[in-house]
Amino acid sequence: MQRRRKGWGLILVLGAVCAGGLWGAADPWLGHLFRAVTAQPVTSSTHSSPIAITSDNKFVWSANPDNNSVSVFEVIPPPTELQKVAEVPVGTEPWCVAITPDNAKVYVTNQVSGTVSVINQATRAVLKTVKVGTEPFGCALTPDGSRLYVTNISSDNVSVIDTATDTLLTTIQNVGPRPRGIAITGDGLTDGLTGELKVYVTQFLSERPADNDPRPLTQSEGRDDGRVGRVTVIDATLNQVIKTIVLNPLANVGGFLSDGSTLDREPLTGVFDNVTGAFPNLLESIVIKGTLAYLPNTCSSPNGPFRFGDVVGPDRVYKVLSSMYRIYGDPRYRPNIWLTRRAKLGVSLLTPET
């Protein structure tokens, strides 16, 4: 069993900073990270979000997955405030909103419907509904607004829509499991650096480590460094996957020492001397700023501590994991015999085996 000092909640913030930093420092595909770049992009990068603002900063569009609509707010200065002016019905469970640079059209992904709604930004009328993959989530327009890229989390692919005709241009395969957040680089840097257009797609759930991890799964699974995050890179000219970036775990999150180790069967001693690591998980979104990409995520440290599970209750932990396993089908969420027995008997997770 394992016990950690108070202050655990800060790991979520540290995870967002550390994982994004690790990726940006290790990824040469975003540009020359270690040379000074003072030029500004001619066109800004874009990224997926449930909220979008028109380029003139006059209107805010927001997805409402609870009632299958998008709300439109007018920005009223001064003092700046938002006034709701419309609510547009779309498909079932809208999640992402993107607005073309000329503010002519708004695109909304509908997760349950498997569609993208195309809306006239001025009249707020739905112009067309485009069928895409299964459970479309994130969406981002190329900086010139000519194409919309959509991540489909249950069909494991990315749809590309031609915004001139609002038709499906192509579907990109082999993007990895459960693609979620998406960002597209700004095209053209005035200092002569590469202006290639690339699409970055997060794989939502952490995955088992790469083949170079010498440990068998029986030793790595459940460890704080037992999994990695992954981001897929797509060439937007060829619409092909060109690279997968691995987000390695942190060996030490800093300042979080534990008493005991669950996996190593180290009992509580009252001495906090075990280093806590973490791997990036739940990669919901990605944002590009210059030559760096930032990924908010959860720093997962699965190696204990049991005392947190006892606060929630073994039965509730069992039910949550069972539901996640049923929904996602990922074996990491399947409750093991040890937890199942304690949940059924209603005993503490700290109860030793007899």
158 Cβ partners below 8 Å, 6+ apart? Answer: 133, 149, 150, 151, 152, 171, 172, 175, 179, 182, 199, 201, 234
Same-domain status, 253 and 345: no
Same-domain status, 139 and 199: yes
| Strand 198-207 with 51-53, pairing | unpaired
Same-domain status, 254 and 219: yes
Query: How confident is the model over 243-300, as pLDDT tens digits?
Result: 999 999 988 887 777 777 777 777 767 777 888 888 999 999 999 988 889 999 888 8
Domain of residue 135, residue span: 3-300
Same-domain status, 195 and 296: yes
Query: How confident is the model over 178-236, as pLDDT tens digits?
Result: 999 999 998 543 333 455 799 999 999 998 887 788 888 878 888 888 899 999 999 99
More confident residue, 171 or 208: 171
The yes-or-no verdict on residue 323 having pLDDT over 70 is yes
> Which of 265, 280, 300 is the endpoint of a domain?
300
Rounded to 5 degrees, what angle do the CA atoms 168, 171, 174 make? 170
Cβ atoms of residues 206 and 279 within 8 Å = yes
3-state secondary structure of 167: strand
Cβ atoms of residues 194 and 186 within 8 Å = no
pLDDT for res 308: 59
- In 3D space, the residue among 108, 152, 147 whose CA is nearest the CA of residue 130 turns out to be 108
Same-domain status, 244 and 324: no
Same-domain status, 206 and 311: no
Q: Taking the CB of residue 94, how many other CB atoms lie within 10 A of it?
A: 29
Same-domain status, 16 and 83: yes
> Which of 300, 315, 346 is the endpoint of a domain?
300
Same-domain status, 311 and 283: no
Same-domain status, 49 and 146: yes
27 Cβ partners below 8 Å, 6+ apart? Answer: 33, 245, 293
Per-chain mean pLDDT for the chain: 82
For the entire predicted model, the pTM comes to 0.78
Q: 41: which strand partners?
A: 189
Query: How confident is the model over 16-75, as pLDDT tens digits?
Result: 333 333 333 333 333 322 222 233 334 689 999 999 999 999 999 999 999 999 999 999
Same-domain status, 208 and 111: yes
Structure tokens at 108: 């909304």
161 Cβ partners below 8 Å, 6+ apart? Answer: 107, 116, 130, 132, 147, 148, 149, 150, 167, 168, 169
CA distance 262 to 242: 40
pLDDT for res 238: 94
> Which of 283, 300, 317 is the endpoint of a domain?
300
Same-domain status, 13 and 159: yes
Q: How many domains does the chain have?
A: 2
Structure tokens at 18: 């550390």
Same-domain status, 137 and 203: yes
